[in-house]
Chain A
């Protein structure tokens, strides 16, 4: 596999990883007190 192709694949995985991190930071267990 060429370095360019590998870079493209890794970049996509990296973007998904960052999205997962942002989701985890903002959604997991948050805002549970707001209903009161």
Chain B
């Protein structure tokens, strides 16, 4: 009986370790699948509400929409993304979602508006997890200071991290969205370039 106590403690410790090992590894292995599920869920929700708020003013036939959000947002219908845009100088804003790069332009000023966000991390939101599904011709809508700006994707590319020219000012009114690629690393940048569609933007 005296020897049974340490043995039962050891058994208890073994079961505790098994539980912790399963919990930690499940978290590490299953977390990357969560954004996939979230994309599916967002698409289901979008279908359920008839596609709103993803219809642009011109598509909905209403140029005086009152449902334009008061905060700055980016909407990418293809991947059912509807995220607030955070402005500021701290890269920590990436942990909130989409970050407007501080040294770049804004939609009312024309030139190059640059947005960035995490692809996947264990510490922040996987904002642009599905950005690789966006292709040439897809639409991106920005809501900025109560006004809508419609963009059409003209180019997608992968560049090395040193390619800082993607943030440079441009003559055209364009939107540049980038994140890291491939999915599990920060080796390169996945860049989506979209031009302002003057006809579609009210």
Contact = CB atoms under 8 A, between A and B. Distances in A.
Given A20-B24, A32-B186, A14 B17 contact: yes
Interface of B: 7, 10-11, 13-14, 17-18, 20-21, 24-25, 27-28, 91, 94, 101, 116, 118-123, 161-162, 164, 167, 179-180, 184-186, 189
Contacts of B24: 14, 17-18, 20-21
Given A3-B11, A29-B120, A36-B164, A17 B25 contact: yes
A20 B28 contact: yes
A31 B10 CA distance: 42
Residue among B11, B122, B123, B184 having the largest count of chain A Cβ atoms under 10 Å: B122
Given A10-B18, A17-B20, A24-B28, A32 B120 contact: no
Contact of A29 (B10, B17, B116, B121): B121
The 9 closest A-B pairs by CB, nearest first: A32-B186, A35-B161, A10-B17, A32-B180, A29-B121, A3-B10, A17-B24, A33-B91, A25-B122
